[in-house]
A and B are shown apart, each in its own frame.
Chain A
Amino acid sequence: MPSADELKQRIEAALPGSTAEVSGPDGVHFEAVVTSAAFAGRSRIEQHRMVMDIFAGQLGGEIHALSLKTKTPS
């Protein structure tokens, strides 16, 4: 079962220079707020895709849901 900390590390490793706050008390439903300069100039859907692609194959499976907010650093 993936942990919130594991998700955080995978996001931050996959998107260089990003910061992620992840919570997922039940181990299957996660919430993440991801801030990354890599999001600049991209639509929300593209930003979310960049994060969800990291977990391709796991979403809907062992990660039942990943609720996401993406931000660019101000």
Chain B
Amino acid sequence: MSEQQTENPLRDAIAQAIGENDIILFMKGTPEVPACGFSSRAVGVLQALDVAFASVDILPDPRIRQELSALSQWPTIPQLFVRGELVGGSDIILEMYESGELQELVGAEASGDAPDAPAADAPADSGLLQPENLLGKD
């Protein structure tokens, strides 16, 4: 998906971020300062799981949310992706956490060589408009 170039660089950048991060949360605000109760809840669950996850703040540019929802066919924020698949929003995240399914879903990754440091965190202010900067590589 991420290899395919379209006329839409922002959507490409989002798809690439989803493809390259095992666990990525699109949210309002940052994990440190969530800007919405639902996003805050999602971050709380991921932090309780003690797994590294990338996050993207959708607030700086309304087009991020537009393109994300067009791509995922999911209208609300937050959105959690694990290994490229949309898992759900805060309701599903919480329900799967309570039932143990989420631990199972991400657990296999966490027991591998996932780094402790959240190195994959996309800087909230770098902007998805610059795909080459998205993951802080280069």
Residues of A at the B interface (CB closer than 8 Å) are 44-45, 48-49, 52, 56, 59-60, 65, 67-69
Contacts and interface: CB of A to CB of B under 8 A. Distances in A.
B96 A44 contact: yes
B86 A45 contact: yes
15 contacts: A44-B92, A44-B96, A45-B86, A45-B87, A45-B88, A45-B92, A48-B88, A48-B89, A48-B92, A49-B74, A52-B74, A60-B76, A68-B91, A69-B91, A69-B95
Given A45-B74, A59-B75, A68-B91, 9 more contacts: A44-B88, A44-B95, A45-B88, A45-B92, A49-B73, A49-B74, A59-B76, A67-B91, A69-B91
Contacts of B96: 44
A44 B96 CA distance: 9
Contacts of B75: 52, 56, 59-60
Interface of B: 38, 73-76, 86-89, 91-92, 95-96
Nearest to B86: A45
A67 B92 CA distance: 9
